[in-house]
Amino acid sequence: MLALLGGIFLLHLTGIILLLAATINNAWWVSDTLSTDIWARWVWVNGAWNYTDLPNIHTYSEEYLQAVQASSVLACIFSILGLFVFVGQLFTLSKGKRFSFSGIFQLLACLCIMIAASIYTDRFHKNEDGWHGASFILAWISFVITFISCVIYFVLRKKTA
On the question of pLDDT at 112 being above 90, the answer is yes
Contact indicator for 106, 146 with CB cutoff of 8 Å: yes
To the nearest whole percent, how much of the chain has pLDDT over 90?
49
Rounded Cα distance, 93 and 40, in Å: 43
**Average pLDDT for 113-141:** 91
Interval 11-21 mean pLDDT: 95
Distance CA 79, CA 108 (A): 8
Residue 94 — very low, low, confident or very high, per pLDDT cuts 50/70/90? low
Q: Which of 52-56, 119-123, 136-140 has the lowest mean pLDDT?
A: 52-56
Answer whether residue 160 shows pLDDT above 90. no
Identify the DSSP state of 55: P
Which of 46-60, 113-127, 131-145 has the weakest average pLDDT? 46-60
Strands 34-36 and 48-52: unpaired
How many CB atoms within 10 Å of residue 55? 10
CA angle 42, 43, 45 (to 5 degrees): 140
| pTM of the predicted structure, to 2 decimals | 0.88
* Residue (of 129, 77, 79) closest to 103 by Cα position: 79
| Cα 48 → chain centroid | 29
Domain ranges of the chain: 2-26+60-158
User: Is pLDDT above 60 for 33?
Assistant: yes
- Nearest CA to 28 out of 142, 138, 143 is that of 138
Domain boundaries 2-26+60-158, CATH class: mainly alpha
The dihedral built from the CA positions of residue 132, 134, 137 and 143, taken in this order, carries a sign that is negative
* CA atoms of 89 and 131, how far apart (whole Å): 42
Local structure of 101: helix, strand or coil: helix
